[in-house]
Copies of this chain bind each other. A is one copy, B any other.
Amino acid sequence: MLDERKLAVLRAVVEDYVSTNEPVGSKALAERHNLGVSPATVRNDMAVLEEQGYITQPHTSAGRVPTDKGYRLFVDRLSQIKPLSAAERRAIETFLAGAVDLDDVVTRTVRLLAQLTRQVAVVQYPSLIRSAVRHVELVPLAERRIMLVLITNTGRVEQRVVDLPDVVEDDRIAHLRAVLNACLDGCRLSRVPETVADLQERLPEEDRPVAATILSVLLETLVDRHDEKIVFAGAANLAGDFSVGLREVLEALEEQVVLMRLLGEANDSAALTVRIGSENPYSGLRGTSIVAAGYGSGDNELARLGVLGPTRMDYPVTMGAVRAVARYVGQILAGS
């Protein structure tokens, strides 16, 4: 149905359009990519490609522009992910290695990605639910008030102030802390609810009300944060590009929920996901594409990151950058 040359034409159209941002005509195309055929032939091929919905013309007597379907084919079959240069890799590595805590890792990552791709970068904080408890801390603040601090093996720290039903002496708190840690240390967060239920029963009668309060806050913390935190950077890269509805995109970026879905709803693997234009779930983003990947330490995916840009983006380069950054972040998180 689409012979080799027609695919080459499509590839050429995409590449030229991406680099010039102008509809590409048969003549220019035949010249720049030495296809070995005349413009007239290219025109015929283009007519076919248009009929099949891979390209379109903004108006009669203009060049052709790829459609979402055209980009899709390009990404799936006509292009190869372009690896970063050695220099870029080194720069990434040293930049990320300088991070002092989780917040810093995420902030640096999102900026890095934005700068690297010259687009909007989006990074989700590592999910709590897939990580494990490293430590639980109870800090007395006042007679009937303590602070609960939860530290995970991904370096994340959650804190909550807890108002207690009774006055509790410090050493009972200390004891409770010891018990909690004995039970929960190393426990996968997804398993915490069961473990906690067990624990509850094994406590002495007198400690139960206090423990119940604390534990309910602990559980709440886990559930609450199921809607994960997401940050973005590089919005300035959108300015000056009128092919996207700027206002709508900015609005979407500030909606955690939308962003969440964009990155891919807990996708199967850590593989690269590309959503092109109308393929993505939010109508305000009809003119934009998202390239995302999962990242994690070791084999389990912790969260996702990606970039968002006009559908007319350089997919091979962008995909290369996203993949590379995802890998490095994974390494950094594993090492800390």
- A contact residues vs B (CB 8 Å cutoff): 100-101, 111, 134-135, 137, 139, 141, 147, 149, 151, 155, 157-161, 224, 233-236, 238-240, 246-247, 250-251, 253-254, 336
Chain B residues whose CB sits within 8 angstroms of the CB of A238 once the complex forms: 250
Which of B100, B111, B250 contacts A239 (CB under 8 A)? Answer: B250
The 5 closest A-B pairs by CB, nearest first: A239-B247, A236-B250, A236-B251, A135-B139, A239-B246
Which B residues are CB-close (under 8 A) to A101? 158-161
Whether B134 contacts A137 by the Cβ 8 Å rule is no
For the complex with contacts A151-B159, A157-B159, A239-B246, 4 further pairs of A-B residues with Cβ separation under 8 Å are A137-B137, A147-B151, A236-B254, A240-B247
Q: What residues of B have a CB within 8 angstroms of the CB of A161 in the complex?
A: 101, 155, 336
Closest to A103 in B: B229
Task: Kindly state the separation between the CA atoms of A250 and B147 in the bound complex, as whole angstroms.
Answer: 38
> Are the CB atoms of A254 and B239 closer together than 8 Å?
no
Chain B's closest residue to A111 (CB) is B254
Q: Which residues of chain B are within 8 angstroms of A239 by Cβ–Cβ distance?
A: 246-247, 250
What is the minimal beta-carbon distance from A259 to any residue of chain B, in angstroms?
A: 13
CB A18 to nearest CB in B, in angstroms, measures 21
- Residues of chain B lying within 8 A (CB to CB) of residue A149: 137, 149, 151, 157
- Chain B neighbourhood of A235, CB < 8 A: 235, 250, 253-254
Residue of B nearest to A256 (CB): B107
Instruction: Report how many copies the assembly holds.
Output: 2
B254 lies within 8 A of A234 (CB): yes
Residues of B within 8 A of A240 (CB): 246-247
For the complex formed, measure the closest distance between the CB of A98 and the CB atoms of chain B, giving whole angstroms: 12
A224 to chain B: closest residue by CB = B100
> Contact at A147–B135, with CB atoms within 8 Å?
yes
Q: Given the complex of chains A and B, what is the CA–CA distance between A262 and B242 in angstroms?
A: 29
> Looking across the interface, which residue of chain B has its beta carbon closest to that of A145?
B336
- Residue of B at shortest CB range from A220? B100
Residues of chain B lying within 8 A (CB to CB) of residue A100: 160, 224
A160 to chain B, nearest CB (A): 6
From A251, which residue of chain B is reached at the shortest CB distance?
B236
Q: Please, which residue of chain B has its CB at the minimum distance from the CB of A137?
A: B137
A141 near B134: Cβ-Cβ < 8 Å: yes
What chain B residues lie within 8 Å of A234 (beta carbons)?
254
A172 to chain B, nearest CB (A): 17
Complex: A240 Cα to B247 Cα, angstroms:
7
- Report the minimum CB–CB distance from A262 to chain B (whole Å): 16
Please indicate the chain B residues that have their CB under 8 angstroms from the CB of A250 in the complex: 235-236, 238-239
Which of B139, B251, B253, B336 is within 8 Å of A137, CB to CB?
A: B139
Q: Which residue of B lies closest to A241 (CB)?
A: B247
Residue of A100, A238, A246 contacting most chain B CB atoms (<10 Å): A100
| A179 smallest CB distance to B (angstroms) | 16
